[in-house]
Each structure stands twice: as structure tokens, then as C-alpha cells.
Amino acid sequence: MADNIPTVILAGGLGMRMRDYSDILPKALVPIGNKAVIHHVMDIYASQGFNKFIVCLGYGGDQIKNYFCNLDIKLPHLRVNTRSGTKESLEKEVDDFEIDFIYTGLNSLTGERIRRIKDYVKSEDFFVTYCDGLANINLTKLLNHHRKMGKSATLTATHTTSPFGIVETNGGMVESFKEKPVLLGYINGGFFVFNRRAFDYIFEGSTLEEEPLRNMAKDRQLAAYNHEGFWACMDTPKDIERLNSIWERGLMPHAGIHYDQIPWKKI
């Protein structure tokens, strides 16, 4: 990948809907299989050639830094020289991440966190995402679409599944049941591309999903990239169970499966 633009990851929130975990771990470090969820997010980008990250830290920032600074300890096969203190991985493949950890405040909102990393972004375009959203998205197609549209930002629009089963009725009788079907409408999937012009819409104290995105849309500066494949976020304990089930079946978006072939409607 010749154009290795950075990915800004919002990882500073308190994760209030994840209280069972957030009392002891920041949301970014909730485990999915053998890795923290933010690690899986990075795998999605790095597996497609985008391995530079700017992580916006807040709550639990030191824990997130410690996780990545000690990744070698988690490796199954590791050579240690106790005399020199050196460590060497014996794995065939190891992560190749370049990460800038930037403290963006304990209680900062999402827009404010992005504003505070402005000086660390050196490219005209850059990715932005959350620490807990997973998808089999083709990032090169997303980036090319963003550049073709020529707007300040591009939002990935995707489908979600209903949290409830759907009952279909006819004439007062139940016709069928659909267990948590995929909904037809689009939601904000959280995989963005920003141009530096987007900083003009983001101010201190702002929430990205409110004034900045709304004002870009109003000014026709917010493009949309429709993603029809797998997408999932981790907002609740049930989401954690679902994502762990996906991991156990070897269906994570970066697990070597072709991005267009994950049977996302069945998982």
C-alpha cells in the first residue's frame, strides 16, 4: 500500500453501557477471543496495508498503552535472553503497527478528541474510526470513493440487525417469525475518511456525531459510502457474546477470509 495514511481511533470514552467491564477495563480492551477489541480493529486496517494509528486516549489510557507495549508477552512462542534482557518472537507473523498514543482528556467528547490530534495528522486524508466497530469493509474502495467525491469527509453507511425477532402477521394470524433480521435502512457504521478540511467543522467541546457531521451534511461536504457486508459494534454484553462466537468460528473480518465472502447475514 503506497498511500499508508493514518487511522485515528477514538478510544478514550468511559464505556458506560459496558459497566460490567468498564469498572476494570477501558472499553477498547474488552477481549474478543485472544485479543482486545481495539486490536481486532487495528488488524482490519493493517491487513489491508494501513498500519499507522493515532489512538485518542482518555479513560484507561495507561492500560491501553501497556497492552500494546507488552504484546510480545502474550505471544505463544517467545525467546527471552535473561542476560541481555532481550525478547524475540518466534511467531511466523507478528503485528506491524506504528502507534501514536495521544492523551485527549478524561471527559472529552468525540469531536474534541479529534480536534486535539490535529497536529499529529500530517496527511491530507486520514481514516477515523471507533475502538469497537468491526466490519469486512474494503478500505481502499472507501478511500477511493472519498477522493472521487472530493468532500470534507466520508461516512460509511451500513446495515444493522434488529435487536428483536420480527413477527409477520396477516389477517389476525401469525404468518412467520424472523429472528433478528438485517434492517433495510442505513446507519452510521463508524468507518470514516476525513480530509483536513473537516477540522474546520470540529471544535473544542463538540460531539462528532452531532454538530460536525450535521453541519458537513448541511453544507454538502459529507459523502456516503454504502457498505453491504458484515458490520458489528460492541455496545452491550450481548454484543460481546456475539463477537466472541464469530471469533470462535474463525469469521473475524481479518482472519484470512476474502472480504467479500464472509457470510455476514448468518452471523
Domain edges within the chain? 7-156+184-266
6 φ/ψ angles, rounded to the nearest 5 degrees = -80, 160
What value does the mean pLDDT take over residues 187-208?
Answer: 95
- Are β-strands 31-32 and 35-36 bridged in parallel, bridged antiparallel, or unpaired? antiparallel
* Per-chain mean pLDDT for the chain: 86
Whether residue 46 has pLDDT greater than 90: yes
Greatest mean pLDDT range, 79-83, 86-90, 175-179, 251-255: 79-83
CATH number of 7-156+184-266, picked from 3.90.550.10, 3.10.580.10, 3.40.630.30, 3.40.50.720: 3.90.550.10
Whether residue 89 has pLDDT greater than 80: no
Q: Name the β-bridge partners of 56.
A: 10, 102
pLDDT score, position 153: 97
pLDDT class of 181 with cuts at 50, 70, 90: low
Dihedral sign (CA 256, 257, 259, 262): negative
% the chain with pLDDT above 90: 57
Count of beta carbons in the 10 Å neighbourhood of residue 71:
14
pLDDT score, position 218: 97
pLDDT score, position 56: 98
Cα(227)–Cα(182) distance, rounded to whole angstroms? 13
pLDDT class of 6 with cuts at 50, 70, 90: very high
Comparison of pLDDT for 112 and 166, the residue scoring more: 112
pLDDT score, position 225: 96
Cα(94)–Cα(51) distance, rounded to whole angstroms? 12
Exposure string for 167-206, b = 16+ CB within 10 A, e = fewer: eeeeeeeeeeeeeeeeeeebebbbbbbbbeebbebbeeeb
